[in-house]
Amino acid sequence: MIEFQAVTKRYDDGTVAVDHLDLTIEDGRVTVLVGPSGCGKTTSLRMINRMVEASSGTILLDGKDIRDQPAAALRRGIGYVIQNAGLFPHRSVLDNVATVPILLGTKKAAARKRAAELLETVGLPAEMGKRYPGQLSGGQQQRVGVARALAADPPVLLMDEPFSAVDPIVRDDLQDELLRLQSELGKTIVFVTHDIDEAIKLGDKVAVLRVGGQLAQYDSPSALLAKPVDDFVASFVGRDRGYRALGFLSAHGIEVKPVAAVALGATVDEARRALEGGWAVVVDDTRRPVGWVSEVSLSTVEGQVRREWLVSGGSLYVADAEGKAGSLRTALDAALSSPAALGITVDGEGALVGAVTAESVLAALAKARQAGEVPL
Amino acid sequence: MSNVFTQVVDWLTDPDHWKTTLGIAGIPQRLGEHLQYTGLAVLVSALVAIPLGAYIGHTGRGGTVVVGIVNSFRALPELGLLILLVLAMGVLLAVQALTIALVSMAVPVLLAGTYAGVRNVDRAVVDAARGMGMREWEILWKVELPNALPLILGSIRAATLQVIATASIAAAVSLGGLGRFVVDGNAFREYDQMAAGAVLIAGLAIVVELVLSGVQWLVVSPGLRKPKTRGRSRAS
């Protein structure tokens, strides 16, 4: 557990970066510090490993004042990941990852062996260990940065905007990878970002800071979206917060209607007969949806239903993958993005189950409100 | 008058000039002296400038002052300085006086190179090193200096070349070195000897440069070599 007790950081020129911060960061969870630039989120993070020294107040790590031991010793027990990774350009990827274990006295060969395993843990081939950081893409470098921070198996990981310099698609991959890693490792992660979407996706708890270094709200992502404490938080959380809040409600029990389906390779006549409300889903031989046909799209063609004619489908709503239903957000998005206004619903294997409508999502939302599942 | 090139070649290929006879030193001895003056001056300069440059580069303190003072040394005329030093210290200390004159020229080059090399290491890399728990000396020794090595070695090469060229002034204070041929050739109006001396100094500079380039290639991490083999260029 990391506790900030009335922590203030005042710079020599009088600027207050962090102002009387009280914050308790729970073990084994991802806590995200988010806020506009100048809100002191990075300063707060860097005070945990004493890269910045607090002007007043106390920070406790597992009940012990972080100033009780020398800064270097403290830092060796805390993983640290920064923007652009900050890999050592003169060392191979493997030696980069092995840095902290070697500083702690692990034999070189043992440290390298462990480093190679860690590369695979973060989704990189072990052969990449022989390369130098300059030969890696930004996303790969950032994965190496995470592996390097994990090398000495520290209980706490500090991540300072680690994914903000990579492109959105790679960023999404890295975020998913972090969540997967975290579900295996259960580290105490403190994560700084300026991106509220990233905060909501990754955080078990989110601390929103305002300019001047004051804590505005500290809550779970769903509570943050449902009930921002003031206008600042509301505006920072963003305009689509009602829609995004649906992401925290399970769509379990939502009504899934049967939907007209045609196999690829069926004749056009068969397809025309199958249409319901002018539309039918086309499935391949494993019953995975591949697109739609409509009265209009079938009116000019003959023979067998072919892939090239299909109207492309919307997003998919996965009902019941390994006992976990998708969220109301994915269900609603499936319905809204579908050309037939029917959200294609698939099972864990991706096979067609049926369809959901926007109305059924709203009905489920109303039910959740009545049952008190929506935080108010 | 025959071609100056054939005269120089004749002078250089004359076997008499390659051995020491009747107390008149030949090329090998002069070459040895020249290398000795150069090596000593570069060694002393490196011992002074590299630790100092590394320290101010790492701490960022006193950088402008030191670089300013040291740059003013560049304006010193070496020959004048050497003669002044020999007059002050006496002929018996001529080698020491020469070394001081050469060091005063090499130190600014090495200091600027080391300072710039350490200072220019990506701040994110240094931040990561510190955040991972490296102590200050570990950051300097394991991260900043290895990354500054291309610039430091580059400045050693530049300083060495400059010292090889300037070490010729040793002859002006009755010391040896390849400059002896130039000075004697001028005094005795033996222009073939004078030109041959210049050729020898230039040749030595080229050989030393090649050797140092090889050393640089061997000791600098492959991760720092240019051109960088980026994924993009390989993919194309």
Task: State the CATH architecture for A261-369.
Answer: Roll (3.10)
Instruction: State the nearest Cα–Cα gap between B78 and chain A, in angstroms.
Output: 38
Look up the CATH number of the domain holding residue B136: 1.10.3720.10
Q: What is the mean pLDDT of chain B?
A: 89
pLDDT in tens, B116-128: 999 999 999 999 9
A87 touches chain B (CB under 8 A): yes
The domain segmentation of chain A, as residue ranges, is 2-248, 261-369
B226 touches chain A (CB under 8 A): no
Chain B residues inside the 8 Å CB shell of A73: 133
pTM assigned to the model: 0.80
The structural domain count of chain B equals 1
Give the Cα separation of A19 and A60 in Å (integer).
17
Residue numbers of the domain that contains B16: 4-235
Return all residues near B93 (Cβ < 8 A) that are at least 6 apart.
B86
Q: Which residues of chain B have pLDDT under 70?
A: 1-2, 226-236
- Nearest neighbour of A90 by CB, restricted to B131, B135, B146: B146
Chain B residues inside the 8 Å CB shell of A91: 221, 223
For every residue of chain B, DSSP letters joined together read: ---HHHHHHHHHH-GGGGS-BTTB--HHHHHHHHHHHHHHHHHHHHHHHHHHHHHHHHH--SHHHHHHHHHHHTTS-HHHHHHHHHHHH-GGGHHHHHHHHHHHHHHHHHHHHHHHHHHTS-HHHHHHHHHTT--HHHIIIIIIHHHHHHHHHHHHHHHHHHHHHHGGGGGGGT--STHHHHHHHHHTT-HHHHHHHHHHHHHHHHHHHHHHHHHHHHHS-GGG-SS---HHHHH-
pLDDT in tens, A52-100: 999 999 999 999 999 999 999 999 999 999 998 999 999 999 999 999 9
Q: What is the assigned CATH class of domain A2-248?
A: alpha beta
pLDDT in tens, A3-38: 999 999 999 998 999 999 999 999 999 999 999 988
